[in-house]
């Protein structure tokens, strides 16, 4: 005796290619698509608040880390700038000290050239050599100073002779016995002078 079923058996063919015609079948019926489509989570569920809070916390942490790195970079850049300035300053000081040392060693030669020129003994090719030497040292910062009639300044003059005169109201260099030399602000040798003091 055949078994009887209360509900008829339903067979659904979900193949996209029709086996009889070989053509692509159309979209599934709305009822069938609804049965096959998995349930989607509802937008705006209870987990959205937690996710939003987590993203906000991560953003705040990233911004704090970026601000810290920026501060470190700015501090490092300032230290580097100060280091460069200090190195440049030390280099200039060392260069000027070396040039001043060379110029100071040549002062006896410059004195001989100066005396020879004053007495007319500097002649021939030595004139051009002496001029080139003095011009080169001047270009590097050496300066000869000391003139008759300028006020006496103990910071740059050395008084070898003193006299008194009614002509002057302040102590005055009346005769430069040996010129002075300075390199920039540094006095290599004071000018040696005869000084006339005003009558007391």
For the chain, first and last CA: distance in Å? 160
Torsion 49-50-53-54 (CA) sign: negative
pTM beyond 0.95, yes or no: no
Residue 45 has pLDDT above 70, yes or no: no
Question: What's the CA gap between 55 and 149, in Å, rounded?
Answer: 85
Residue 184 has pLDDT above 90, yes or no: no
């Amino acid at each position: 005796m055949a078994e009887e079923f209360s509900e008829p058996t339903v067979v659904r063919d979900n193949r996209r290619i029709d086996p009889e015609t070989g053509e692509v079948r159309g979209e599934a019926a709305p009822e069938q698509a609804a049965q096959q489509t998995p349930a989607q989570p509802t937008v705006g569920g209870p987990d959205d608040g937690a996710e939003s809070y987590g993203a906000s916390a991560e953003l705040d942490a990233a911004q704090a880390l970026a601000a810290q790195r920026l501060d470190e970079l700015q501090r490092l850049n300032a230290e580097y700038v100060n280091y460069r300035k200090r190195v440049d300053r030390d280099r200039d000081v060392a260069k000027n000290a070396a040039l001043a040392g060379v110029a100071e060693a040549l002062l006896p030669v410059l004195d001989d050239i100066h005396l020879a020129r004053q007495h007319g003994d500097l002649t021939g090719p030595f004139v051009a050599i002496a001029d080139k030497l003095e011009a080169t040292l001047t270009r590097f910062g050496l300066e000869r100073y000391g003139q008759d009639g300028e006020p006496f300044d103990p910071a740059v003059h050395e008084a070898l002779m003193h006299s008194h005169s009614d002509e002057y109201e302040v102590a005055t260099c009346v005769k430069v016995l040996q010129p002075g030399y300075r390199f920039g602000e540094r006095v290599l040798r004071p000018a040696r002078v005869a000084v006339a003091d005003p009558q007391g």
